[in-house]
Structures are given as structure tokens and as C-alpha cells.
């Protein structure tokens, strides 16, 4: 009986220790970790003209150290990215190609949850020529507007500075060029 009690007690202690090992851990990565992001599925959300919300003035320090202030009166494609994000790496050539195809549209990146060394290497690797803000603090200024909901997220902003569409996830050439054409045609 005593031996049986000791075995049961040992099993109970083992279960307790195993349970405690999970208490300090979480299925959610810590903030700032490369894995603590939501990967989008490419879903497109279009906003009718009368329901669009304004973007804040997009300005700040770029990755190259220069200052940026958005030009009002021109459509903008705003892409939130990070060098460690595989869908961001996959879409980078598409964004560069579209920025060349549409010189009348401002393309602007917003680096999020990343460091400048990795970001500069990403820009060099993909030959990106459009600017990128070095801090995602600008995203906090969107308030009630359609904010980035995944990494990557791409916003298409009309010439009035209103958000016309959001792509949550990797962009495609056809999908994003269609949205740009719609905004240019308005």
C-alpha cells in the first residue's frame, strides 16, 4: 500500500512539474520577436469613395537617414514590411516593378519590427528604389482609419489622401495594379 502511494505521489509530482513548465510559456511569441506577427492571406478590402477615411500626414526619417513628407494630390501605395517576413521578400520585386510602371504614384514603405542593418540589406538585395520610413510609429497615427492588420499590409491611398483599399498579405502584380488603375481612374 505504501509503495503504491509513493508511486502515485511521484506521478502526481511529475504531472505537477510538467504543468508548471507550461505556465511560464505561451503560444504567443514575445512582442518584438520575429514570430509575433499576423501573416495576411492577401485579402483585399476596398472602400467606397464616400466611406473612405483620411490618412495622417506621412512623414518621418527614411532608412537612408533623409527626411520624407508625402505629397498631397498624388495617389500613394503604402507597404508595411520587415526584412524577416517571407511574404515581404516574395512581394518586393512586384512592388519595385509596379513603382516603375506607375511613376505618377508615390510608393512608400514602412519598416516595422526590424533593424536598420537588415532593412538596408533587404533594400539592396531587391533593388528597391522607393523610400521607406524607418519607424512604424507613423502607423499609430492612423487612429480609426484602416490600419495595417498583418505583415505585409499594403494600403492604396487616393489622390485626396483617403484610404481606397487594403491588401492584408502578399500583393500580386495583377491585384495591386488593378487597385492602382481604379484609383487613378477616379
Condensed to tens digits (0 to 9), the pLDDT of residues 58-95 reads 899 999 999 999 888 999 999 999 999 999 999 999 99
Q: Which residues pair with 59 in a beta bridge?
A: 69
d(CA 154, CA 139): 12
* Confidence (pLDDT) at 29: 30
* Confidence (pLDDT) at 2: 53
d(CA 172, CA 178): 10
CATH superfamily, region 43-184: Glutaredoxin (3.40.30.10)
| Percentage of the chain lying above the pLDDT 90 cut | 62
Count Cβ atoms below 10 Å from residue 131 Cβ, excluding itself.
Answer: 16
The C-alpha cell that represents 145 in the structure block: 482609419
Global confidence as pTM: 0.77
Q: Does the structure show a pLDDT above 80 at 111?
A: yes
Higher-pLDDT residue of 163, 139: 163
What is the phi-psi region of residue 123: left when phi exceeds 0, alpha when psi lies from -120 to 50, beta otherwise? alpha
State the Rg of the chain over Cα.
23
Handedness of CA 37, 38, 41, 42 (dihedral sign): negative
Condensed to tens digits (0 to 9), the pLDDT of residues 10-45 reads 444 433 333 333 333 332 233 333 334 455 666 888
* Confidence (pLDDT) at 135: 84
d(CA 126, CA 91): 10
* Confidence (pLDDT) at 5: 42
* Confidence (pLDDT) at 102: 98
d(CA 100, CA 105): 9
- From the list 158, 157, 154, the residue with the least C-alpha distance to 173 is 154
Q: Does the structure show a pLDDT above 60 at 155?
A: yes
Tell me the average pLDDT of the chain.
81
* Confidence (pLDDT) at 146: 67
CA 9 to chain CA centroid, nearest Å: 50
Angle at which helices 173-184 and 86-101 cross, to 10°: 40
What is the phi-psi region of residue 134: left when phi exceeds 0, alpha when psi lies from -120 to 50, beta otherwise? alpha
- From the list 122, 117, 62, the residue with the least C-alpha distance to 86 is 122
CB 83 within 8 A of CB 118: yes
Amino acid at each position: 500500500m505504501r509503495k503504491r502511494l509513493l508511486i502515485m505521489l511521484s506521478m502526481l509530482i511529475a504531472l505537477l512539474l510538467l504543468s508548471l513548465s507550461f505556465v511560464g510559456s505561451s503560444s504567443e511569441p514575445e512582442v518584438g520577436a520575429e514570430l509575433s506577427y499576423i501573416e495576411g492571406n492577401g485579402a483585399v478590402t476596398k472602400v467606397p469613395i464616400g466611406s473612405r477615411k483620411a490618412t495622417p500626414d506621412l512623414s518621418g526619417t527614411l532608412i537612408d537617414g533623409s527626411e520624407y513628407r508625402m505629397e498631397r494630390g498624388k495617389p500613394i501605395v503604402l507597404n508595411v514590411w520587415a526584412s524577416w517576413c517571407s511574404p515581404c521578400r516574395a512581394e518586393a520585386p512586384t512592388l519595385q516593378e509596379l513603382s516603375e510602371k506607375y511613376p505618377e504614384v508615390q510608393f512608400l514603405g514602412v519598416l516595422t519590427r526590424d533593424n536598420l542593418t537588415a532593412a538596408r540589406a533587404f533594400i539592396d538585395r531587391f533593388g528597391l528604389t522607393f523610400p521607406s520610413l524607418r519607424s512604424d510609429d507613423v502607423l499609430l497615427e492612423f487612429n480609426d482609419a484602416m490600419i495595417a492588420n498583418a505583415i505585409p499590409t499594403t494600403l492604396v491611398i487616393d489622390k485626396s489622401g483617403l484610404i481606397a483599399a487594403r491588401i492584408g498579405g502578399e500583393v500580386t502584380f495583377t491585384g495591386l495594379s488593378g487597385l492602382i488603375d481604379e484609383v487613378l481612374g477616379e
